[in-house]
Amino acid sequence: MTRTYTEPFKVRIYETTADYTTSIGTIADWLQEAATIHAGRLGFSNKEMVKAGVAWVLSRLCIRMERYPVYGETITVCTWPTTRNKRRAARDYRLTDESGAIIGTGTSSWVALDLATRRLGSMPDFVLERFPNQDERACEFTAKSLPKLQATQHEAIVTARAADQDQNGHVNNVHLLKWGLEPIPNGRPRFQPSVVDIAFRAEILPGERATAGCATGVEPNTMLHTLIRSDGTEAVRMLTHWS
């Protein structure tokens, strides 16, 4: 059993922004890919979870970036599980460049979605048995819980497309992260925060509309974000830092 997993990612032109650097969405895609491969090798892939009537769902993700990679660079993502219980499983990440320097870290919390009820389920026994608890941590969340955005300063309406859904039948978490950044006004690199801490609170299904909102945070150089479904349910709560 391999307790850690590494995967190299070369920055493709379609993964870059106007200045040839990557975005936070690309980074989140890489982390998701590395986590998926490693979970499969450890024996608890999403396919195995589905056989037990549940599916892996990301409930919270924090990414801290020292810098964003540029077109043509090869970045290595190292990931490993940390802790788990009957309700949640945690996984951390480290990103290094070709010189071995750490350019980013991440931590995440995953839950089991009951596919019959679409509610939080329990971890199957085989996950608890095969999950390698490890003490090493790459980073921490910004706080135990994220503050709720009370009043928006900027908003944008988004509509979930069929192409946005993943294997679990809802909009993939990376799309939700990018939607949360959409209402940021022009004039700043809206897709390259130094820190993003996002909590996924409810599903958004293909065809549904949602309102993305943001406002300046209490702490310097921070913003609070939200994504509200048309029925009033808060699907996403997010905090970003900008440096």
Q: In this predicted model, what pLDDT tens digit does every residue of 133-159 receive, in sequence order?
A: 888 999 999 999 999 999 999 999 999
Cβ-based neighbours of 109, under 8 Å, separated by 6 or more:
58, 59, 60, 61, 88, 89, 90
Token pair belonging to 216: 């300046």
pTM: 0.96
Residues 94 and 164 in one domain: no
Report if residue 172 sits inside a domain. Answer: yes
Residues 69 and 174 in one domain: no
Report if residue 125 sits inside a domain. Answer: yes
Residues 86 and 167 in one domain: no
Q: How far apart are CA 101 and CA 121, in angstroms?
A: 39
Residues 167 and 83 in one domain: no
Q: How far apart are CA 210 and CA 152, in angstroms?
A: 14
Residue 98 pLDDT > 70, yes or no?
yes
Residues 20 and 82 in one domain: yes
Report if residue 113 sits inside a domain. Answer: yes
157: Cα separation from own chain's centroid: 21
Report if residue 117 sits inside a domain. Answer: yes
Report if residue 136 sits inside a domain. Answer: no
Residues 46 and 158 in one domain: no
Q: Which domain holds residue 213?
A: 154-241
Residues 109 and 181 in one domain: no
Residue 1 pLDDT > 70, yes or no?
no
Q: How far apart are CA 169 and CA 202, in angstroms?
A: 13
**Tokens 């820190």 — which residue?**
195
Residues 69 and 159 in one domain: no
Residue 20 pLDDT > 90, yes or no?
yes
Residues 121 and 167 in one domain: no
Residues 27 and 116 in one domain: yes
Residue 71 pLDDT > 80, yes or no?
yes
* Spatial contact of 188 and 243, defined as CB atoms under 8 Å apart: no
Residues 31 and 78 in one domain: yes
Q: Kindly indicate the confidence band of residue 188, based on its pLDDT and cuts at 50, 70 and 90.
A: low
CATH of the domain at 107: 3.10.129.10
Question: DSSP label at 16?
Answer: B
**Tokens 């990018």 — which residue?**
178
Report if residue 181 sits inside a domain. Answer: yes
Report if residue 143 sits inside a domain. Answer: no
Residues recorded for the chain: 243
Report if residue 138 sits inside a domain. Answer: no
* Spatial contact of 59 and 98, defined as CB atoms under 8 Å apart: no
Burial of 95 (0-12, 13-18, 19+ CB in 10 A): buried
Q: How many domains would you assign to the chain?
A: 2
Residues 105 and 173 in one domain: no
Tell me the mean pLDDT in the region 33-44: 96
